[in-house]
Amino acid sequence: MELKWLEDFLALHTTRNFHTAAKQRHVSQPAFSRRIQSLETWVKEPLFDRNARPAKLTKAGEKFIPLAEELVRLSYEVRGEISLKSKSEEAKIRFATLNTLAQSFMPTWLKRLQPIISADQFYVNTGFGDLVGYLDALDKNDVDFFVCYEAPETFFVGKDRVVSSLKLAEEALVPVVKPDNDGNPTWWLPDGSNQTIPYLCTRTEISIWPVREHIKKHYAHLEFKTVYESNIATALKSMVLEGFGVAWIPYTLVAEELASGELVRAAEQEADIIVDIKIYRNPKHHEARLDRFWQAVASQDVLLFRYH
pLDDT at position 158 is 59
Residue 118 has pLDDT above 80, yes or no: no
Its CATH architecture, for the domain 93-305, is 3-Layer(aba) Sandwich (3.40)
pLDDT at position 306 is 63
Sequence ranges of the domains in the chain:
3-90, 93-305
Give the pLDDT mean for 29-34: 92
pLDDT in tens, 80-101: 766 555 454 456 889 999 888 8
Amino acid (one-letter) located at 32: F
pLDDT at position 88 is 47
**Helix H segments across the chain?**
3-15, 18-24, 29-43, 59-91, 99-104, 106-113, 131-139, 211-218, 233-241, 251-260, 288-298
Q: Do domains 3-90 and 93-305 have the same CATH topology?
A: no
Extract long-range pairs of 114-120: CB within 8 Å, 24+ residues apart.
Answer: 116/296, 116/299, 116/300, 117/292, 117/293, 117/296, 118/289, 118/292, 119/91, 119/92, 119/93, 119/289, 119/293, 120/91
Fold of 3-90: Arc Repressor Mutant, subunit A (1.10.10)
pLDDT in tens, 216-261: 888 888 999 999 998 888 899 999 999 999 999 999 899 999 999 9
pLDDT in tens, 155-188: 556 566 667 889 999 999 999 999 999 999 999 9
